[in-house]
Amino acid sequence: MNKEKIIIGSDHAGYELKEKIKLYIVELGYDVEDIGTYSKESCDYPVIAKEAAGLIMKGKAQRAVLICGTGVGMCITANKSKGIRAVVCSDTTTAKFSRLHNNSNVLCLGQRITGEYLAKDICKIWLETEFEAQRHQYRLNLIEN
């Protein structure tokens, strides 16, 4: 079976957590495409979030994990693109329900907010939970139209 490819990206404030989450996503059995940043040198989160959103909109991947200081800037930016349903998570329940009910396709994490082990748990639940569809699909259609 083909592995799902997950886009991963961060700014400088999320770089260290990105490197750890990247390895963890591979351990979970997914392919990962790292779109940067590649060091702790200061950079701009909107550039990375827009690139990730563009890749999803072009069908190059279904989902992305984006990390900045709080996760907020990545989330605000990604949600500007049609078809992106980005969520900031610092708990596993929100991660789970954002998949079950909202079919979230971008998970945003904050390196300055969430520790490595919790971030990994959030990521695993988010990656492994399927959208429930049914009545929730009707509501997602209302968001888009």
- Which chain residues interact with ligand RB5 by CB under 6 A? 11, 13, 45, 68-70, 72-73
In angstroms, the CA 68 to CA 117 distance is: 17
- 69, with CB counted inside 10 A (0-12, 13-18, 19+), is middle
Nearer to ligand RB5, 48 or 125 (CB): 48
- Considering the candidates 68, 75, 89, 108, report the single residue annotated as catalytic: 68
Other Cβ atoms within 10 Å of 104 Cβ, number: 23
Nearer to ligand RB5, 2 or 53 (CB): 53
Q: Please state the φ and ψ torsions of residue 120, each to the nearest 5 degrees.
A: -65, -45
Nearer to ligand RB5, 70 or 114 (CB): 70
Query: Is the distance from CB of 79 to CB of 55 less than 8 angstroms?
Result: no
12: annotated active-site residue = no
What's the closest the beta carbon of residue 68 comes to ligand RB5, in angstroms? Answer: 3
- Considering the candidates 12, 43, 101, 136, report the single residue annotated as catalytic: 101
Nearer to ligand RB5, 4 or 34 (CB): 34
What residue ranges in 35-130 does DSSP mark as E strands?
Answer: 63-68, 86-88, 106-110
101: annotated active-site residue = yes
What's the closest the beta carbon of residue 125 comes to ligand RB5, in angstroms? Answer: 22
Q: What is the DSSP track for 84-103?
A: --EEE-SSHHHHHHHHHTT-
Q: Which two tokens stand for residue 85?
A: 């349903």
What's the closest the beta carbon of residue 33 comes to ligand RB5, in angstroms? Answer: 21
What's the closest the beta carbon of residue 76 comes to ligand RB5, in angstroms? Answer: 7
Tell me which residues are annotated as active site: 68, 101
